[in-house]
Amino acid sequence: MQLTLESLSIGYLQKHEDLVVSDGIQFNSSAGDLVGVIGSNGIGKSTFLRTLAGLQPPLKGSVSLDGQNIAGLSPKDLSRKISVVLTDPIATKNLTVRELISLGRQPYTNWLGTLSREDLTKIDQVLSMLQLENIQDRICYELSDGQLQRVMIGRALAQDTPVIILDEPTMHLDLVHKVQLLKILGSIASELDKLIIFSTHEINLAIQLCSHLLVMNKNGASFGSPDALIQNDSLQQLFPDKEVFFDPKSKSFTFEAAP
Amino acid sequence: MFLRAKHTVPFLFLFLLLCLCFLLNIGLGSVDIPLSEIFNSIFGAESQEGNTAYIVRNYRLPKAFTAILVGAGLSLSGLLMQTLFRNPLAGPFVLGISSGASLGAAILLMGGALVGGAAATYFSGDVALTIAASLGSFLVLAVVVYVASKVRDTLALLIIGLMFGSLTAALVSILSYFADSEELQRFIFWTFGSVGNLSWSQVGILSICVMIGVLISIGLIKTLNSFLLGEQYAISLGVSIARSRFWIIIATGILAGAVTAFAGPIAFIGLAVPHLCRQLFGSTDHRVLLPAVLLYGPILLLLCDTVAQMPSSAYVLPINAITSLVGAPIVIWLLVRKRKMIF
């Protein structure tokens, strides 16, 4: 499975002039990669991920899976290729964990949404992989943020797609849960051979845990392994206002203490 | 996926309750008729043509069936709207859909002063009333949906629904100002709401409309379940939003429009019943909720109608008042008990 972006330009169609959020994004990624998307607030990470997931059309360029442009896929076919975990809260939390994860099987169920034996097996696998078995009958509004985020990842996993896209999955989580979550994502990518792309503000964690990074700044986007991006100065340019700077020795961002 | 044995008992309970309420509704009225005679009138030989048989066959039976259809139609349209807008307070009455139907009916019943009397009397048949009320509800629904796509805020949407209610009410009052007393009386009686006075052929038209609404909704069950996650997730699950929205609106418009045309604007049933069903079944799955509201809505309306006709007296209260007296406290109770209304 190979995801290819060609001179992708993202943004919003407007009456007079299109609002270009970011231009000329280009990369090539394959199953098993854990790709972190980093950049400052408002740079267009969410827009980029939504375009990638086919939730909004690109202004220019294309997103292709194994050489096939996703714009040409039917909604049903696309739903078997890409699953998402978004920042918007789900409309109702009045569902049990198991019910919520079961909804991920919709692309495979019949017109009434009846779960087959295969669907049930898949759901059980997801529950055990994410260690959600003991809370599977709890209602979602009772869950903590960390638990709910794992359940949402479970729903995406149940959708059984080669690509999973997550928008800021570490938001609202404490450091321990952030690390746990990113490790889970890493193991899903390597063990289940999936391509996982997520945006995050946890740059230091992303540098340590991701196989590739997409760094978005005002001048464009650069893609590569964390080490390559450190070498070619891309990370240093992430925050141009010198408030924080990248320290290549510790491979992390830091700031000057007040004098 | 969530259909489990635990739902069998509530379903059985609701079904028995529905049968009970049906018999109660037929049995109680301005004239006391013993149960045995009711059975005789319904199942008895055709030759039996006494007064009792006439009352049961041509007055009470169509009324009870109308109550069932109205209860089912309003509850289902409420469920569809709550899921479409993902808002626990949505319902045909709150979002101005019933007001839209009222406007349609008002223009037909009282617009004579504006378009010339002859045309109005010619068009004021039952089918015309159904079409006018349905068109009115479609119109308001379409505008509400358009506005909903512009404002993401659900609270704003409810306020807009209320404003549409006021707007149509204003138009209706202008129409009533110019209407003559006979037209006005006809319209006022219509707004009181009533499940009585329908002939068997009218019950037939209503049941066809409700049936169409139910069939469309059954086809939408899977989509409605994906809407529980929100629109973006629904898209990522392969749902075509524009198409689903279109069919949900069609179903809601037919259900709420036809019901309001025949029975007048009846408040709170559409809002309260879906919540009562979620409470009873502990589920938000539409495969459970859809049959549930189709049983629960009729029960509630049969009971309200039984109260409205004030057994053993010649008075009949406006059913709209009774449903509000019952429905408003239910909604307040749900809000207080759960603090936050979830859908």
pLDDT tens digits for range B170-202: 988 888 888 888 888 878 888 888 888 788 888
Given a contact cutoff of 8 angstroms between Cβ atoms, the answer to whether B66 and B198 are in contact is: yes
How far does B207 lie from chain A, in Å, by closest CA? 24
Given a contact cutoff of 8 angstroms between Cβ atoms, the answer to whether A97 and A118 are in contact is: no
Nearest partner of A146 among A179, A188, A177, judged by Cα = A177
Please judge whether B236 and A111 are an interchain contact, meaning their C-beta atoms are less than 8 angstroms apart.
no
Given a contact cutoff of 8 angstroms between Cβ atoms, the answer to whether B196 and B185 are in contact is: no
- Predicted structure pTM score: 0.90
Give chain B's mean pLDDT: 84
Q: What is the mean pLDDT of residues A82-101?
A: 92
Taking 50 as the threshold, does the pLDDT of residue A74 lie above it? yes
With a pLDDT cut of 90, the percent of chain B lying above it is 33
Taking 70 as the threshold, does the pLDDT of residue B118 lie above it? no
- Tell me, what's the pLDDT at B54? 81
Beta pairing, strands A195-199 & A60-65: unpaired
Residues in B closer than 8 angstroms to A75, CB to CB, are 235, 238-240
pLDDT tens digits for range B275-319: 999 989 988 999 999 999 999 999 999 999 999 987 777 788 889
What is the gyration radius of the CA atoms in chain A, in angstroms? 19
Please judge whether B238 and A88 are an interchain contact, meaning their C-beta atoms are less than 8 angstroms apart.
no
Residue A190 has a CB neighbour count (10 Å cut-off) of: 15
Mutation target for A interface from B3, B85, B224, B237: give the one with most A CBs within 10 A.
Answer: B237
pLDDT band at B2 (very low <50, low <70, confident <90, very high): very low
Taking 70 as the threshold, does the pLDDT of residue A115 lie above it? yes
| Dihedrals phi, psi of B283, to nearest 5 degrees | -150, 150
Mapping DSSP to helix (H, G, I), strand (E, B) and coil, where does residue A201 land?
A: coil
The larger pLDDT score, comparing residue A115 to residue B142, is at A115
Taking 70 as the threshold, does the pLDDT of residue B153 lie above it? no
Q: What is the mean pLDDT of residues B222-246?
A: 92
Mutation target for A interface from B89, B217, B229: give the one with most A CBs within 10 A.
Answer: B229
Q: What is the mean pLDDT of residues B158-167?
A: 81
The Cα A206–Cα A192 span in angstroms is 20
With a pLDDT cut of 70, the percent of chain B lying above it is 90
The larger pLDDT score, comparing residue A46 to residue A237, is at A46
* ipTM of the modeled complex: 0.93
- Find the closest chain A residue to B239 by CA distance: A75
Number of CB pairs, chain A paired with chain B, less than 8 A apart:
90
pLDDT band at B249 (very low <50, low <70, confident <90, very high): confident
* Least confident piece of the model among A220-234, B31-45, B237-251: B31-45
- Tell me, what's the pLDDT at B64? 94
CA angle A16, A22, A26 (to 5 degrees): 130
Residue B26 C-beta-side C-alpha neighbours within 13 Å: 27
Nearest partner of B80 among B176, B221, B192, B187, judged by Cα = B221
Mapping DSSP to helix (H, G, I), strand (E, B) and coil, where does residue A111 land?
A: coil
Q: What is the mean pLDDT of residues B30-40?
A: 76
- Using CB atoms, pick whichever of A76, A115, A141 lies closest to residue B238: A76
Taking 80 as the threshold, does the pLDDT of residue B341 lie above it? no
The Cα A124–Cα A121 span in angstroms is 5
Mapping DSSP to helix (H, G, I), strand (E, B) and coil, where does residue B156 land?
A: helix
Mutation target for A interface from B7, B232, B342: give the one with most A CBs within 10 A.
Answer: B232
* Least confident piece of the model among A189-203, A215-229, A244-258: A244-258
The Cα A43–Cα A168 span in angstroms is 14
What is the gyration radius of the CA atoms in chain B, in angstroms? 20
How far does B197 lie from chain A, in Å, by closest CA? 38
Specify the length of chain B in residues: 343
Residues in A closer than 8 angstroms to B226, CB to CB, are 103, 106
Please judge whether A91 and B229 are an interchain contact, meaning their C-beta atoms are less than 8 angstroms apart.
yes
How far does A214 lie from chain B, in Å, by closest CA? 23
How far does B99 lie from chain A, in Å, by closest CA? 27
Q: How far is CA A203 from CA A5, A41, A162, in A?
A: 23, 13, 25
Taking 80 as the threshold, does the pLDDT of residue A121 lie above it? yes
Please judge whether A141 and B342 are an interchain contact, meaning their C-beta atoms are less than 8 angstroms apart.
yes
B40: tokens are 């005789």
B235: tokens are 């898209």
- Using CB atoms, pick whichever of B226, B236, B278 lies closest to residue A84: B236
- Using CB atoms, pick whichever of B237, B278, B287 lies closest to residue A79: B237
Residues in A closer than 8 angstroms to B236, CB to CB, are 53-55, 79, 82-84
Please judge whether A112 and B287 are an interchain contact, meaning their C-beta atoms are less than 8 angstroms apart.
yes
How far does B239 lie from chain A, in Å, by closest CA? 7
Tell me if chain B has a CB within 8 Å of the CB of A14. Answer: no
- Tell me, what's the pLDDT at B1? 41
Q: How far is CA A212 from CA A29, A184, A223, B311, in A?
A: 9, 16, 7, 77
Q: How far is CA A244 from CA A200, A202, B5, B274, B280, in A?
A: 17, 14, 59, 53, 56
B271: tokens are 């809002």
- Tell me, what's the pLDDT at B112? 62
Taking 50 as the threshold, does the pLDDT of residue B51 lie above it? yes
Beta pairing, strands A212-217 & A220-224: antiparallel
Please judge whether A94 and B284 are an interchain contact, meaning their C-beta atoms are less than 8 angstroms apart.
yes
The Cα A25–Cα A10 span in angstroms is 9
- Beta-bridge mates of residue A27: A5
Sign of CA dihedral A16, B154, B162, B94: positive
Residue B151 CB contacts under 8 Å (≥ 6 apart), including other chains: B157, B160
Q: How far is CA A159 from CA A21, A48, A51, B67, B238, in A?
A: 30, 21, 19, 43, 11
The Cα A45–Cα A199 span in angstroms is 7
Q: Which residues of B touch A (CB under 8 A)?
A: 1-2, 86, 219, 221-222, 225-230, 232-233, 235-240, 278, 283-285, 287, 342-343
- Tell me, what's the pLDDT at B75? 97
pLDDT band at A255 (very low <50, low <70, confident <90, very high): confident
The Cα A58–Cα A25 span in angstroms is 11
Tell me if chain B has a CB within 8 Å of the CB of A104. Answer: yes
How far does B216 lie from chain A, in Å, by closest CA? 13
pLDDT tens digits for range B56-110: 888 889 999 999 999 999 999 999 999 988 888 888 877 788 888 888 888 887 8
| Dihedrals phi, psi of B53, to nearest 5 degrees | -60, -40
Tell me if chain B has a CB within 8 Å of the CB of A117. Answer: no
- Give residue B196's region: left, alpha or beta (phi > 0; psi -120 to 50): beta
Please judge whether B240 and A75 are an interchain contact, meaning their C-beta atoms are less than 8 angstroms apart.
yes
Q: What is the mean pLDDT of residues A213-240?
A: 87
Give B179's DSSP letter. Answer: S
Taking 80 as the threshold, does the pLDDT of residue B273 lie above it? yes
Residues in A closer than 8 angstroms to B278, CB to CB, are 94
The Cα A256–Cα A238 span in angstroms is 17
Q: What is the mean pLDDT of residues A126-144?
A: 93
